[in-house]
Amino acid sequence: MNSGSGEAHVVEPNLISLLDLVMQLLMFFIMCVTFVTDQAAAEISLPDSQAAAPIEDKDTNVQIVNIRPFNTNDPALIAKYSGNPKYLEEMGKRFLPGQVYVIVSGQDPMSIGSFRNWLRDQHTRATMAMGLEKKAVDTTIIIRAHRDTDYKDVYSVLELCRNQGYNQLVVRVLKV
Amino acid sequence: MNQQFKVRCFDAKTGTHPELLLLGENEASVIALAEQAGLTVTGIEAVVAQVAVVVPGSTPVHPQVMVAQVVKAPIVAQPVAPSQPAKPPSPKAPIAVPLATPVGSVAPLVIPVSKSPAPSNPVQRPVSPATKTGDISPPPKRKKHGENLFPPTGEVVINVVPMLDMTFQLLFFFIITFQAPTGLEAQIPLVLPPPEGQQEAAKDKKDKTDKDIVPTIDSDVIVEVKSLNNPQYPGEMGEVEVSALAKEIIRPTPGKSLEDGRNEVLVRLGEAMKQMAQDLKKDKLSLRLKADPGVKWERVIQVADTCRQAKFLGIRFEKPGGS
Q: How far is A93 from chain B (nearest CA, A)?
A: 24
Q: Are B55 and B74 in contact (CB under 8 A)?
A: yes
State phi, psi for A115 to the nearest 5 degrees: -65, -35
DSSP string covering B252-299, please? PPTT--HHHHHHHHHHHHHHHHHHHHHHH--SSEEEEEEE-TTSBHHH
* Residue B53 confidence (pLDDT) above 60: no
Q: What is the reported pLDDT for A36?
A: 53
- Cα–Cα distance between A156 and A151 in angstroms, integer? 9
Calculate mean pLDDT across residues B289-299. 89
- Cα–Cα distance between A25 and B69 in angstroms, integer? 55
Which of A116-120, B258-262, B285-289 holds the top average pLDDT? A116-120
Q: What is the reported pLDDT for B213?
A: 56
Q: Which of residues 144-163 of A touch B (CB under 8 A)?
A: 145-152, 154-155, 158-159, 162-163
* Residue B200 confidence (pLDDT) above 80: no
Q: What is the reported pLDDT for A163?
A: 85
CATH architecture group of domain B199-317:
2-Layer Sandwich (3.30)
Taken in order A69, A74, A78, A80, the sign of the CA dihedral is negative
- Cα–Cα distance between B182 and A57 in angstroms, integer? 12
Q: What is the reported pLDDT for B144?
A: 53
- Going by C-alpha positions, the residue among B292, B286, B291 that lies closest to residue B308 is B286
Q: How far is A86 from chain B (nearest CA, A)?
A: 29
Q: What is the reported pLDDT for B94?
A: 42
Walk along chain A (176 residues) and give the pLDDT tens digit of each residue: 444 445 567 787 888 888 888 888 888 888 776 655 556 666 788 888 888 888 776 666 888 889 988 887 788 888 877 878 888 888 888 888 888 889 888 788 889 999 999 999 988 888 887 776 666 677 888 898 998 899 999 999 988 888 888 888 888 888 88
What is this model's ipTM? Answer: 0.76
* Residue B66 confidence (pLDDT) above 90: no
Contact status of A27 with chain B (Cβ, < 8 Å)? no
- Going by C-alpha positions, the residue among B306, B312, B314, B322 that lies closest to residue B262 is B306
Q: What is the pLDDT of residues B96-111, one digit of tens each?
A: 444 444 444 444 444 4
- Cα–Cα distance between A55 and B58 in angstroms, integer? 75
Q: How far is A91 from chain B (nearest CA, A)?
A: 23
Contact status of B174 with chain A (Cβ, < 8 Å)? yes
Q: What is the pLDDT of residues A141-166, one digit of tens each?
A: 889 899 889 999 999 998 888 888 88
Greatest CA span in chain A, whole angstroms? Answer: 90
Query: Where do the domains of chain B lie?
Result: 3-132, 199-317
* Residue B88 confidence (pLDDT) above 50: no
